[in-house]
A = this chain, B = another copy of it.
C-alpha cells in the first residue's frame, strides 16, 4: 500500500523545484503555428523526453511531417494490476501577438504576486505546459518519495495541438499497439472557480477554415474602377456579415439540423451553478452577452454551436489612405460544434452559404485547416467517480461535472482509434488569459493540481 501522504508532503516541499522546472519549459518558445519556431518545438519535445527518461521512463521522440511527438512508457511497480493510463498533453503554444499588450516578454516566465497569491505569467503557463508539468511533478514526487512510479503509464505529448493536431491521428493509427491503454488522462481544462474543482464531461468540436475571395487580376484604383469592378473586401464582408441572424443564431442553412436541446436535468444542474454572466463579461470589459438570444449562458458556452471570424485581412492596412480596390481578401472562420453535429456537413453548409452570397465574379476557396466533432463523456464511469473522490479529498468540497466551450479534438481521436475514454481533470481558471497576452497560471492551482494527480496515481494501484 503506497504512502500517498508522504508523497504529498514531499511535493509540498518540492514546489520551488517544480516551479523552476516549469519555467525552464516555458522559456522555450514552442509556437507550432510558426514555421520559424520548428527548432524550438523540437527543443521542447526533447526537454519533455529527457524529463521522463530521468524518472525511468522508456522515452523517445517520434518524427511527424510537423512537430515531433513524445511517447514514454513505464510498467509501474512489479505485479501492478490496476488500469494502464495514457496521459495526453501538448508542449506547443499559441502565437503571442499582439506582443505590445504583454506586460513581460511571453517567453520569460515571471513569478508575480496576484490577488490569489503567486502566479506564473508566460505563454503556455497554463495551456498546456503548466498542466502537463503538474502530472510530471506528481510522477517525480512518487519517484522520489513514494518508492517509484505507482502505475503502468504511457505518456503522449504532442506538439501541434494549437494548429489542429494535424499529424496526431495518423500517428495514433500507426501506433495503436504501442499506445494501447485502459483510460486516457488529460489535463487541459478548467476548474469551476479557484476553490471548486471540476471534471469536464462535455466538449465542443471545432472546424477551422480559411476563406479566400478573389476578384480582379490585379489591385485597382477605386476612382477609376469604383462602381464598375467587384471589390472583394465588400464581397467578403457582405457574405460573412450575414453569418449571424438578428437573434444571434448562425444563419447557415441546416447548421442546427441535428442540434438537440440540452437535457432538462442537465440544464437544471447548470442553472444551479448560478453562473454570473455579468461578472464573466465584466472581467473583459463587456456588458451585453453575444450569441443566441434567450439561451442561458452556460448552455451557450457548453452546449450550443457558434461561428466566429478569427481573422480578416485584405487591401491597405498601413498608415493614411490608399484608394485601392484590392484583388483579393481573406478570413479565418471557425465553428464550435456540439456532439450531434457532423464537421463535414458544417463545412459543406458553409461552402454553400458563401457560394450563394458572393457575386458572380468572385472566386471563393474554403480551406479546412482542422475539423473535429464535439464529444460527451459518460458521467457515471469508474474513472469519473474515482476522480471526483480524489478532487473532493484535495479540495474538501465536491467536484462539479461541467462542460467546456473549448475543443480537445484528441478526445474523439482516442475514442475512435484506441477505443478508450478520457478523464478530463484540469486546473485552469476562466481568467487565465489562455491564447491572449499575459497568459497566467495560479500557483495554488498548479500545486493543488499536482497533489490531485499524486492522489489519483496513488488510487490506481490500490
Min CB gap A17→B, angstroms = 30
CB neighbours of A407 from chain B (8 A): 223, 323
Q: Would you give the 0/1 interface string for A87-114, flagging 1 where the beta carbon is closer than 8 Å to chain B? A: 0000000110110010000000000000
Asked whether A281 is an interface residue with its Cβ less than 8 Å from the other chain, the reply is yes
* CA–CA, A288 and B310, complex, Å: 30
Question: Are A322 and B433 neighbours in the complex by a CB distance under 8 Å?
Answer: no
Q: Which of A287-325 contact B (CB under 8 A)?
A: 287-292, 297, 300-301, 304, 306-325
Asked whether A284 is an interface residue with its Cβ less than 8 Å from the other chain, the reply is yes
Which of A128-136, A330-338, A381-389, A447-455 is found at the contact surface with chain B?
A330-338
Which of A45-53, A70-78, A140-148, A229-237 is found at the contact surface with chain B?
A229-237
Question: Are B315 and A230 neighbours in the complex by a CB distance under 8 Å?
Answer: no
CB neighbours of A164 from chain B (8 A): 320-321
Question: Are B321 and A163 neighbours in the complex by a CB distance under 8 Å?
Answer: yes
Question: Are B361 and A220 neighbours in the complex by a CB distance under 8 Å?
Answer: no
Q: Would you give the 0/1 interface string for A249-287, flagging 1 where the beta carbon is closer than 8 Å to chain B? A: 000000000000000000000000000010011001111
Contact of A284 among B217, B277, B288, B323 (CB under 8 A): B217
Known interface pairs A312-B315, A325-B308, A433-B218; A227-B284 also in contact (CB < 8 Å): no
Question: Are B286 and A229 neighbours in the complex by a CB distance under 8 Å?
Answer: yes
* CA–CA, A98 and B327, complex, Å: 10
Question: Are A228 and B300 neighbours in the complex by a CB distance under 8 Å?
Answer: yes
Known interface pairs A33-B320, A437-B219; A234-B225 also in contact (CB < 8 Å): no
Question: Are B435 and A324 neighbours in the complex by a CB distance under 8 Å?
Answer: yes
Contact of A226 among B336, B360, B433 (CB under 8 A): B336
Asked whether A12 is an interface residue with its Cβ less than 8 Å from the other chain, the reply is no
Asked whether A370 is an interface residue with its Cβ less than 8 Å from the other chain, the reply is yes
Question: Are B223 and A359 neighbours in the complex by a CB distance under 8 Å?
Answer: no
Asked whether A58 is an interface residue with its Cβ less than 8 Å from the other chain, the reply is no
Asked whether A406 is an interface residue with its Cβ less than 8 Å from the other chain, the reply is yes
Contact of A227 among B208, B219, B306, B310 (CB under 8 A): B306
Which of A21-29, A116-124, A173-181, A238-246 is found at the contact surface with chain B?
A238-246
Asked whether A204 is an interface residue with its Cβ less than 8 Å from the other chain, the reply is yes
Q: A217-B284, A312-B329, A321-B369 are in contact. List 7 more A-B contacts (CB 8 A).
A: A219-B437, A220-B436, A225-B284, A226-B306, A233-B331, A236-B237, A240-B241
